[in-house]
Chain A
Amino acid sequence: DAKTTQPPSMDCAEGRAANLPCNHSTISGNEYVYWYRQIHSQGPQYIIHGLKNNETNEMASLIITEDRKSSTLILPHATLRDTAVYYCIVRAPGDNMLTFGGGTRLMVKP
């Protein structure tokens, strides 16, 4: 079973911020929160990861709650090319046996 819970789908207007939530209430102390996205029929693309501090890179920001039981991926200015399935995963360093849930299908609309 997946260790994370995400809404199955979300819509976002082009140019607006997309905020994708993820619950991971059973996360362990050494597990990181990772986000990947998969554009139709392509391989999952790494977006960002974090342990307990908020993180930002050129693609997105990751906000992790203080108790680490949930997080939010923020795409600051969504474009049509951000339409994809977004997966939130918890993972211990070096653990490559990832458990993917159903993810959130983000639809960015003009």
Chain B
Amino acid sequence: KAGVTQTPRYLIKTRGQQVTLSCSPISGHRSVSWYQQTPGQGLQFLFEYFSETQRNKGNFPGRFSGRQFSNSRSEMNVSTLELGDSALYLCASSLPVDGPYRTGELFFGEGSRLTVL
């Protein structure tokens, strides 16, 4: 069974540019969450999508946005890039909660490492 797939794995951008990252969840998973990981702030929640709707949003500026498609694939976009946006962006997918043993644990992809110059 294929895991969570993120593309591209590595990319370099310059300040002011925008970037789009893609995430394909595990087959059957309808929830996709995005996280940012930096050395200074650690892992931080960005947003979550379920059935093409944003369900939760973390404390990030409006330059960070996302969407989810009908096939559950998700994209996130960062506009007007800043040096501080350099990070590992992680996507995670999960199944719905179903009883005490399927609690919808998250499965993460390998991430997209963004460097902003």
The contact of B45 among A93, A98, A102, by CB within 8 Å, is A98
Interface 9-mer from A12-20, A36-44, A68-76: A36-44
Question: SS class of chain A's interface: helix, strand, loop or mixed?
Answer: loop
Q: List residues of B whose CB falls within 8 A of some A CB.
A: 4, 31, 33, 35, 42-45, 48, 55-56, 58, 88, 90, 92, 94, 96-97, 100, 103-111, 113
Are A93 and B103 also in contact (CB < 8 A) when A43-B90, A100-B43 are?
Answer: yes
Q: Closest Cβ of chain A: how far from B44's Cβ, in Å?
A: 8
Q: Closest Cβ of chain B: how far from A12's Cβ, in Å?
A: 23
Specify which chain B residues have a CB less than 8 angstroms from the CB of A42 in the assembled complex: 110-111
CB distance A94 to B33 under 8 Å? no
List 23 A–B pairs whose Cβ atoms lie within 8 Å, in order of A's numbering.
Answer: A41-B88, A44-B43, A44-B90, A44-B108, A46-B107, A46-B108, A49-B105, A91-B103, A93-B104, A94-B97, A94-B103, A94-B104, A96-B45, A96-B106, A97-B45, A97-B48, A97-B58, A98-B33, A98-B35, A98-B43, A99-B45, A100-B42, A100-B44
CB distance B103 to A49 under 8 Å? yes
CB distance A34 to B108 under 8 Å? no
Docked Cα-Cα span, A81 to B106, in Å, equals 22
CB distance A96 to B103 under 8 Å? no
The contact of A51 among B55, B92, B100, by CB within 8 Å, is B100
Q: Which of A59-83 contact B (CB under 8 A)?
A: none
CB distance A96 to B110 under 8 Å? no
Are A98 and B106 also in contact (CB < 8 A) when A51-B100, A93-B97 are?
Answer: yes
The contact of B31 among A44, A96, A98, by CB within 8 Å, is A96
CB distance A43 to B42 under 8 Å? no
Closest to A98 in B: B45
Specify which chain B residues have a CB less than 8 angstroms from the CB of A87 in the assembled complex: 43
Specify which chain B residues have a CB less than 8 angstroms from the CB of A99 in the assembled complex: 45
